[in-house]
Amino acid sequence: MRLSTYTKPRINNTKPTVKNINKIRIALAGNPNSGKTSIFNALTGESQHVGNYPGVTVEKKIGTIERDNKIIEIIDLPGTYSLTAFSIEEIVTRDFVLKEKPDVIIDILDSTNLERNLYLCLQFQELGVPIIGALNMTDEAQKSGINIDEHQLGIILGIPFVKTIGSKGKGVEELLKLALQIEDGSLPTSTRKLNYGPELESQIEKLITILKTDENFSYRYPMHWMAIKLLENDNDAINRINNKHEHSNAVLKEAEKSRSWIFRHFGDDSEIVVSEQRYAYIHGACREVVKTDSLSNKIDYTESIDKIVLNKYFGLVIFLGIMFLIYHLTFTIGNPISGFIDHFFSWLNLLITRSLPEGILRDFLVEAIIGGVGGVLVFFPIVLLLFMGLSFLEDTGYMARAAFVMDKFMHIFGLHGRSFIPMMISTGCAVPGVMSARTLVNPKDRVLTILVSPLMMCGAKTPVIAMLASAFFAHRAGIVFWSIWFLGWVTALIIAKIFRLTYYRGEASPFVMELPPYRVPTTRGVMTHVWEKSWTYVKKAGTFILAASIVIWFFLYFPRPHKQMAAYQKSKIELEQKIENQTKLSNNSIDENQLILKYQNELTELNNDFVNRKLKNSYAGRLGRFIEPVFKSCGFEWKVDIALIAGFAAKEVIISTMGIVYGIGNADDNENADMEKSTPLKQKLQSDTHYNARNVLALMVFILIYVPCMATLAVVKKELGKWKYPLFLAGYTLILAWTLATIIYQISGFFPIGG
Amino acid sequence: MTLCDIQYGKNFKIINLKAKGEIRRRLVDMGFIKGAEGKVLREALLKDPIELQFKGFKISVRRSEARQIFVEEIN
């Protein structure tokens, strides 16, 4: 017989239910840094999959296992300190418990911080769900001389407790056993023992009476919990009453009365009084069951490390050093792998080009599909490696310190200490940069950080800007390049400040942040994080990038110049014939070899001329010419405009497209676009009278800032969930880039620049 | 006297919380209630934020938040 006060509405009570078909659902909850993930991993093994909670981008991890012929679904709830309605994580957790009504909640508690962890545990109890407490990190608690009598604690709070060590999987089986016993009713739990004292309880009683006037409502929510939430003036609870309670006005009026009564009686807000009572109760319980061995000679390693790592002066140096190391390692290891993947796709292209007949299908496969898939996978090693480094830092507990070190500086610009890392990573690649903004808990901070991170000079903009700088600024190219790099940071910070003062203004979000004890990360933990993040990138962003790549291909490919094509084919065949004939007759004399070379050159020129015409004639080419007047003020001609349109696919494409428009062929045919390969383009641009230091400077700034590549826009959509964000990002960067480029081009006319 | 005025290395006891809204809620949830004790450990480079040893854990708050926590210095 179940002894609990938990009243789960069993709507289908009348129907006979077959136990085996019903899944048992266990939710894992707990404070951040309580070791929830390691318990989740120990419980579910390999059977995890990651999704999102409906409507928000909070990750939802689910694992399914089987025990005693029962299918058990284990849901990982976000880590929270409380169940208020302030953060997405807390709302998600609360909604999940209220709507989905899991069979059991396992609350993971950090034994070294029992009081604060029990604060959350008791709120779950108030929600009326069957609950088990896992006293996790028992080993660490014992080391620091904390001994908890879990049976006594269970009796006092009305919840069964199990001692666990998540990282070693200890106690996990017992948790599962208890969960099953609770589910089948053989073990009582959640008998609320917490008493808020006669004054508060009398107000709670009053509110429950009036809440019960709506029968449907009182069936839906635990009444004691609802009454407390009303005393706490909880927005979410008030909304629920407004929307769903028959006598909402009367209830809210009564709640108002109760709150002011408490204020008069205690001299403090009722929300504070409620929390104080809860803490007081927990404190009393802990005094009875926790024995602290003050003689144990424990060394506070965390404090010893913090003395160095958070040292007022060394702190910043250490932080920048660590960031540089991770960044450097990622790109030195990742770039060759990316290069390898790139080569693989080039090889695949060649294979298809050779085995399929010329035509639209072949071009589509080679340019759109392989180009798109390759574009996704080329980022993969970088994303993977970067997240390996970041997950390692996160799991050691250093991430919070990094935020501590950088917070003041970032806060000047309306950002959060944690905003620095996504921005820093974006100087390598904005795709993982935007993804790493997940460490920002507050949605405003996160949106703001994501909206400015793509302004950084990334790995794909680098070769384009470096090429332009070296072509037009000679010995000053280095300074010019780094100034542009630096401009990325300055612009991002200023724009962040502007957004904060305008659209995203409002009450500052609390910084209040726990600095968790340092821990040695487990390989398993780090790899799980890394895999989840990288794989969702490929799956979610990948589909969009592929689609966008097809669209861009379409614009660059159609309409086809049929007339010119026939003429081109004819001359091509003629030339090829000539070369072939000459080669057959050849007796290797110098004259004849030169003749062959001449024909070959003609053929190349013919090819270049043809791709040039094709591009000019395409929709993108027409668009480029059509928009030329708009970019006249920046000093760009239509050829540049086409390259910029193509650069939306990926910034490095700007070089190859310019190669085509300037009739020197595809500058990066089967090679990575880098400075040496684009030397012919460089010379071509230098000799082109249209170019000078003025418009090249404007162009570099424009490329730095204008619309992020589609891969970035895809992850922005994925991370923030709504299309309005990538659209806004694309819009404002385009306007900003145009404005800055125009200013630079117009003003620089008054100064002698160039080198 | 607010938490902002406590020198690092010194202990404090909370008297009252003047914070409003979300910050107040966060602080209370973390155990910043009347009578709770802690120690100021250090400050970051630009004097902000500050790190506290509070009950069994370490926590950092901005000075703007610390200014809303009324405390007394204890030994």
For tokens 């904005």, the residue is A430
Find the mean pLDDT for residues A334-363.
86
Provide the terminal-to-terminal Cα distance of chain B, rounded to the nearest Å.
15
Q: Which residue among A279, A313, A408 places its CB closest to the CB of B31?
A: A279
Instruction: Give A471's contacts (C-beta < 8 A, 6+ positions apart).
Output: A682, A685, A686, A696
| Chain B neighbors of A405, CB-CB under 8 A | 44-45
A34/A129 same-domain check: yes
CATH of the domain at A126: 3.40.50.300
Number of domains composing chain B: 1
pLDDT digits (tens, 9 = 90+) for A535-594: 777 776 677 778 877 888 888 888 877 777 788 888 888 888 888 887 777 666 777 778
Instruction: Give A719's contacts (C-beta < 8 A, 6+ positions apart).
Output: A57, A434, A435, A437, A438, A450
Whole-angstrom Cα distance, residue A61 to residue A47?
A: 10
B67 in A contact zone (CB under 8 Å): no
A312/A432 same-domain check: yes
CA of B55: which chain A residue's CA is closest? A113
pLDDT digits (tens, 9 = 90+) for A501-538: 998 876 667 888 999 999 888 887 788 778 877 777 77
H helix or E strand, kind and range, residue A253: helix A248-266
DSSP-derived secondary structure for A536-581: HIIIIIHHHHHHHHHHHHHHHH-S--HHHHHHHHHHHHHHHHHHHH
CA of B16: which chain A residue's CA is closest? A268
The torsion angles phi and psi of A652, rounded to 5 degrees, stand at: -70, -20
Please check the confidence at residue A441 and state whether its pLDDT lies above 70.
yes
Residue pair A461/A426 in contact (Cβ under 8 Å)? The answer is no
pLDDT digits (tens, 9 = 90+) for B35-68: 999 999 999 988 889 999 998 899 999 999 999 9
A440/A494 same-domain check: no
| Chain B neighbors of A507, CB-CB under 8 A | 21-22
CA of B35: which chain A residue's CA is closest? A276
Which pLDDT does position A497 carry in this prediction?
Answer: 94
Query: Rounded to the nearest 5 degrees, what angle is found at the Cα of A44, between the Cα atoms of A171 and A161?
Result: 30
Which pLDDT does position A678 carry in this prediction?
Answer: 53
Q: How confident is the model at residue A148 (pLDDT cuts 50, 70, 90)?
A: very high
Three-state secondary structure call for residue B13: strand
Q: Which residue among B26, B47, B59 places its CB closest to the CB of A515?
A: B59
The torsion angles phi and psi of A81, rounded to 5 degrees, stand at: -95, -20
B18 in A contact zone (CB under 8 Å): no
Q: Which residue among B24, B34, B60 places its CB closest to the CB of A515?
A: B60
Length of chain B counted residue by residue: 75
For tokens 């004054």, the residue is A199
A664/A702 same-domain check: yes
Whether residue A116 and residue B22 make contact (CB cut-off 8 A), yes or no, is no
Q: Which residues are registered as beta bridge partners of B71?
A: B14
The residue among A129, A160, A183 that closes a domain is A183
Residue A326 vs residues A320, A422, B26: alpha-carbon distances, Å:
10, 13, 33
The rounded percent of chain A whose pLDDT value lies above 90 is 37
A590/A631 same-domain check: no
Please check the confidence at residue A430 and state whether its pLDDT lies above 60.
yes
Which pLDDT does position A261 carry in this prediction?
Answer: 94
Q: Which residue among B43, B58, B62 places its CB closest to the CB of A515?
A: B58
Please check the confidence at residue A13 and state whether its pLDDT lies above 70.
no
The residue among A415, A449, A483 that closes a domain is A449
Residue A533 vs residues A385, A440, A698, A718: alpha-carbon distances, Å:
11, 15, 37, 12
A207/A257 same-domain check: yes
| Chain A neighbors of B17, CB-CB under 8 A | 272
Residue pair A743/A697 in contact (Cβ under 8 Å)? The answer is no
| Chain B neighbors of A315, CB-CB under 8 A | 44-45
- The burial class, CB within 10 Å (0-12 / 13-18 / 19+), for A216 is exposed
Whether residue B22 and residue A112 make contact (CB cut-off 8 A), yes or no, is no
Which pLDDT does position A431 carry in this prediction?
Answer: 87
- Nearest of A108, A238, A275, A280 to residue A179 by alpha carbon: A108
| A520 within a domain of the structure (yes/no) | no
Q: Which residue among A306, A312, A407 places its CB closest to the CB of B49?
A: A407
Whether residue B42 and residue A511 make contact (CB cut-off 8 A), yes or no, is no
Whether residue B57 and residue A514 make contact (CB cut-off 8 A), yes or no, is yes
B39 in A contact zone (CB under 8 Å): no
pLDDT digits (tens, 9 = 90+) for A29-69: 999 889 898 899 889 887 777 766 766 667 788 999 988 88
| A141 within a domain of the structure (yes/no) | yes
Preceding omega of A357 cis (within 30 degrees of 0):
no
B56 in A contact zone (CB under 8 Å): yes
Pairing relationship of beta strands B37-43 and B11-17 according to DSSP bridges: antiparallel
Q: Which residue among A84, A113, A417 places its CB closest to the CB of B25?
A: A84
Whole-angstrom Cα distance, residue A217 to residue A317?
A: 57
Residue A521 structure tokens? 């990360």
Three-state secondary structure call for residue A468: helix
| A10 within a domain of the structure (yes/no) | no
Residue A42, domain extent: 24-183
CA torsion angle for A447, A452, A458, A461 (degrees, to 10)?
Answer: 130
Find the mean pLDDT for residues B7-21.
91
| A509 within a domain of the structure (yes/no) | no
| A13 within a domain of the structure (yes/no) | no
CATH of the domain at B51: 2.30.30.90
Number of domains composing chain A: 5
For tokens 């010419």, the residue is A625
Q: Which residue among A417, A512, A516 places its CB closest to the CB of B61?
A: A512
Which pLDDT does position A164 carry in this prediction?
Answer: 95
- The burial class, CB within 10 Å (0-12 / 13-18 / 19+), for A409 is middle
A308/A442 same-domain check: yes
For tokens 């208020």, the residue is A84
CA torsion angle for A295, A299, A302, A304 (degrees, to 10)?
Answer: 130
Preceding omega of A752 cis (within 30 degrees of 0):
no
Residue A1 burial (CB count, 10 A)? 5
Residue A32 structure tokens? 């951040």
Whether residue A512 and residue B55 make contact (CB cut-off 8 A), yes or no, is no
| A280 within a domain of the structure (yes/no) | yes
Q: What is the pTM of this model?
A: 0.81
| A5 within a domain of the structure (yes/no) | no
HSE-up (13 A, CA, CB side) for residue A38: 25
A463/A553 same-domain check: yes
Taking 3-state DSSP, the helix, strand and coil percentages for chain A, each rounded to the nearest 5, stand at 65, 5, 25
CA of B50: which chain A residue's CA is closest? A404
Phi-psi region of A169 (alpha: psi -120 to 50; beta: other; left: phi over 0): left
| Chain A neighbors of B48, CB-CB under 8 A | 407-408, 411
Please check the confidence at residue A166 and state whether its pLDDT lies above 80.
yes
DSSP-derived secondary structure for A274-311: HHHHHHHHHHHHHHHHEEE-TTS----HHHHHHHHHT-
Whole-angstrom Cα distance, residue A113 to residue A140?
A: 11
The torsion angles phi and psi of A162, rounded to 5 degrees, stand at: -130, 135
Please check the confidence at residue A86 and state whether its pLDDT lies above 90.
no
